[in-house]
Chains A and B, each alone.
Chain A
Amino acid sequence: MTAVVPLHPEPTGRISELRWRVPAGLLPFTGPVAGVRGALGQLLLDGTVETLLVEPAAVVTVLGPGHGWRGDGARVRSALQAALAEPAGWRPGPGCTPLTSDQALLWAAEEVVRGRLGDFVRSHGGSLTVLGADGGVVEVAMAGACDGCRTAGFTLHSRFEQELRRRCPWLDGVRAVPAAGRAQDSDSPREARAWA
Chain B
Amino acid sequence: MNASCHGPGGGDTLAPGVPRVALLGNPNAGKTSLFNRLTGLRAKTGNYPGVTVARHVGSCEVGAVRFTVEDLPGTYSLEPISPDEEVVLDVLDGTIPGVPRPDVLAVVLDATTIRRSLRFLTQVLEKALPTCVVVTFTDELARRGGSLDVPALERALGVPVACVVAHRRGGHDELAAQLARWQEWPEPLLAPPTEGVEQSAWVESVLAAADYSAPHQDRVTGAVDAVLLHPLWGTLTFFAVMALFFQAIFVVAAPLQGYVESLFGWLGGLVADHVGPAWLASLLGDAVIGGIGGVLVFVPQIMLLFLLLALLEASGYLARAAFLMDRVMSTFGLEGRAFVALLSSFACAVPGIMATRSLPSARDRIATMMGAPLMTCSARLPVYVTLIGILVPRDSRVGPLGVQGLVMFGLYLLGAVSAMLTAALFKRIADRGAEPMPFYLELPTYRLPVPRSVLLAMWEPSKAFLRKCTTVILGTTLVLWMLLNLPLAGAAELRSAGLDPGDPADAAAVSAYVVEHSVAADLGRAVGPVFDPLGFDWRVNVAVLSSFGARETFVATLSQVDSAQQGATAAEDEPPGSDLGLSAGVVAALLVFYVYALQCVATMAAIRRETGSWRWPAVAWGYMFVLAWTMALLARTVTGWWAG
Interface on A for B, CB 8 Å cutoff? 4-11, 15, 18, 21-23, 69-70, 73-74, 77-78, 81, 115-116, 163, 166-167
Which listed segment binds A: B18-26, B201-209, B313-321?
B201-209
Contact status B202-A8, CB under 8 Å: yes
Beta-carbon contact of A11 and B158 below 8 Å: yes
Q: How many of chain B's residues have a CB under 8 angstroms from any CB in A?
A: 25
Interface presence of B232 (CB below 8 A): no
B-side contacts of A15, CB under 8 Å: 189
User: Do the beta carbons of A115 and B200 come within 8 Å of each other?
Assistant: no
With A4-B201, A11-B158, A115-B149 given, is the CB distance from A166 to B190 under 8 Å?
Answer: no
- B205 partner residues in chain A, CB cutoff 8 A: 6-8, 21-22
Most buried by A among B189, B198, B206, B208: B189
CA–CA, A5 to B204, complex, Å?
A: 9
- Residues 132-172 of chain B, each 1 if its beta carbon lies under 8 Å from chain A, else 0: 00000000000000000101100110100000000000000
B186 CB within 8 Å of chain A: yes
- Expressed in whole angstroms, the minimum distance between the Cβ of B142 and any Cβ of chain A is 13
Q: Which residues of B contact A6 (CB under 8 A)?
A: 201-202, 204-205, 208
Q: B189's closest neighbor in chain A, by CB?
A: A69
Q: How far is the CB of A1 from chain B (nearest CB, A)?
A: 10
Choose among A11, A70, A74, A163 the residue that contacts B193 (Cβ–Cβ < 8 A).
A74
Which B residues touch A73, using CB under 8 A? 189-191
Assuming the A-B contacts A116-B152, A166-B211, are A18 and B189 also in contact, with contact meaning beta carbons closer than 8 angstroms in the complex? yes
Q: Is there an interface contact between A21 and B190, defined as CB atoms closer than 8 Å?
A: no
**Shortest beta-carbon distance from A68 to chain B in Å:** 9
User: Could you say which of B155, B188, B201 contacts A7, with CB atoms under 8 Å apart?
Assistant: B201
| A10-B156, A116-B149, A116-B151 given; A21·B209 CB < 8 A | yes
Q: Which 9 pairs show the lowest CB-CB distances between chains A and B?
A: A6-B205, A73-B190, A8-B205, A6-B204, A69-B189, A69-B190, A116-B149, A4-B197, A7-B201
Q: Which residues of the partner chain A approach B202 to less than 8 Å between Cβ atoms?
A: 6-8
Could you list 19 examples of A-B contacts with CB < 8 Å?
A4-B197, A5-B201, A7-B201, A8-B202, A8-B209, A9-B190, A10-B209, A11-B189, A21-B205, A22-B205, A70-B190, A74-B190, A77-B193, A81-B197, A81-B201, A115-B152, A115-B211, A116-B152, A166-B213
8 Å CB contact of A21 from B156, B191, B211: B156
B80 within 8 A of A: no
What residues on A are CB-neighbors of B193 within 8 Å? 74, 77
Distance A11 CA – B159 CA, assembled complex (angstroms): 10
Contacts A21-B156, A77-B198, A116-B211: A11 and B149 contacting too (C-beta < 8 A)?
no
B192 within 8 Å of A (CB atoms): yes
Query: Measured between alpha carbons, how far is A11 from B158 in the docked complex, in Å?
Result: 7
Residue of chain A at shortest CB distance from B210: A116
Beyond A6-B204, A15-B189, A69-B189, list 10 extra A-B contacts (CB 8 Å): A4-B197, A4-B204, A8-B156, A8-B209, A10-B158, A11-B186, A11-B189, A70-B190, A115-B152, A116-B152
CA gap between A70 and B208 in the complex, in Å: 25
For B209, the chain A residues whose CB sits under 8 A away are: 8, 10, 21
Residues of A contacting B158 in the complex (Cβ-Cβ under 8 angstroms): 9-11
Question: What's the minimum C-beta distance from A78 to chain B, rounded to whole angstroms?
Answer: 7
Q: Give the complex CA separation of A7 and B202 in angstroms.
A: 5
CB distance from A111 to the nearest CB of B (A): 10
Interface secondary structure of A, over-half rule: mixed
Most buried by B among A10, A23, A81: A10
Query: How far in angstroms is the closest Cβ of chain B from A180?
Result: 30
For A11, what are the chain B residues with a Cβ–Cβ distance below 8 Å? 158, 186, 188-189
State the CA gap A54–B206 with chains docked (Å): 19
Contact: B155 with A10, CB < 8 Å? yes
The residue from A23, A81, A166 contacting B198, defined by CB atoms under 8 A apart: A81
Determine the distance from Cα of A183 to Cα of B190 in the docked complex, in whole angstroms: 52
Across-interface contacts of A163 in B (CB, < 8 A): 211
Quick check: B200 and A4 within 8 Å, CB to CB? yes
Mark contacts of B201-239 with chain A using CB atoms, 8 A cut-off: 1 yes-contact digit, 0 otherwise.
Answer: 110111011010100000000000000000000000000
Chain B residue contacts of A81, Cβ below 8 A: 197-198, 201
* Binary A-proximity of B174-198 (CB < 8 A = 1, otherwise 0): 0000000000001011111100011
- CA of A106 to CA of B213 in the docked complex: distance in angstroms? 22
Question: When chains A and B are docked, how far (Å) is the Cα of A130 from the Cα of B420?
Answer: 66
Instruction: List B489-523 residues whose CB lies under 8 Å from chain A.
Output: none
Closest CB of chain A to B415's CB: distance in Å? Answer: 52
CA distance A72 to B211 in the complex (A): 30
Shortest CB–CB separation between residue B587 and chain A, in angstroms?
68
CB distance from A69 to the nearest CB of B (A): 4
Closest chain B residue, CB of each to CB of A1: B197
Chain A residues with CB under 8 Å of B201's CB are: 4-8, 81
Which of chain B's residues has its CB closest to A10's CB?
A: B155
In the bound complex, how far is the Cα of B198 from the Cα of A77, in angstroms? 8
Question: A13 CB to closest chain B CB, in angstroms?
Answer: 10
Minimal beta-carbon separation of B478 from chain A (angstroms): 65
Q: Which residues from chain A contact B186 at a C-beta distance below 8 Å?
A: 11
- Residues from chain A with a CB closer than 8 A to the CB of B188 are 11
Complexed CA–CA distance, A52 and B124 (Å): 29
Q: A4-B197, A8-B205, A10-B155 are known contacts. Are A77 and B190 too (CB-CB below 8 A)?
A: yes
Residue interface bits B5-45, CB-to-A below 8 A is 1, else 0 = 00000000000000000000000000000000000000000
CB within 8 A of A78: which of B189, B198, B208? Answer: B198
Return the CB mask of B51-71 against A: 1 if under 8 Å, else 0. Answer: 000000000000000000000
* Residues of chain A within 8 A of B149, CB atoms compared: 115-116
* Distance A163 CA – B209 CA, assembled complex (angstroms): 10
Report B-chain residues with C-beta under 8 Å of the C-beta of A5.
Answer: 201
Query: Which of chain B's residues have a CB closer than 8 A to the CB of A22?
Result: 205
Please tell me if the beta carbons of A18 and B198 are within 8 angstroms of each other in the complex. Answer: no
Nearest A residue to B207 via CB reads A6
Residues of chain B within 8 A (CB-CB) of A21 are: 156, 205, 208-209
User: What B residues does A167 contact at CB under 8 A?
Assistant: 208
Residues of A within 8 A of B155 (CB): 10
Cβ-defined contact, A9 with B189, below 8 A: yes
User: Which residues of chain A are within 8 angstroms of B206 by Cβ–Cβ distance?
Assistant: 8
CA distance A99 to B370 in the complex (A): 69
Closest to A14 in B: B189
Contacts of B191 in A (CB 8 A): 73
Scoring A4, A5, A22, A77 by chain B CB atoms within 10 A of each residue's CB, the highest score goes to A4
State how many angstroms separate the Cβ of B195 from the closest Cβ of chain A: 11
Residues on the A chain within 8 Å of B152, using CB:
115-116
Centre residue among A8, A22, A116 by max chain B CB count within 10 A: A8
Q: How far, in angstroms, from A173 to B568 measured CA to CA in the complex? A: 90
B338 to chain A: closest CB distance in Å?
38
Q: How far, in angstroms, from A77 to B189 measured CA to CA in the complex?
A: 12
A74-B194 Cα distance, complex, nearest whole Å? 11
Report the minimum CB–CB distance from B393 to chain A (whole Å): 66
**Complexed CA–CA distance, A69 and B158 (Å):** 14
Q: How far is the CB of B47 from chain A (nearest CB, A)?
A: 37
Complex Cα gap A23–B208 (Å): 9
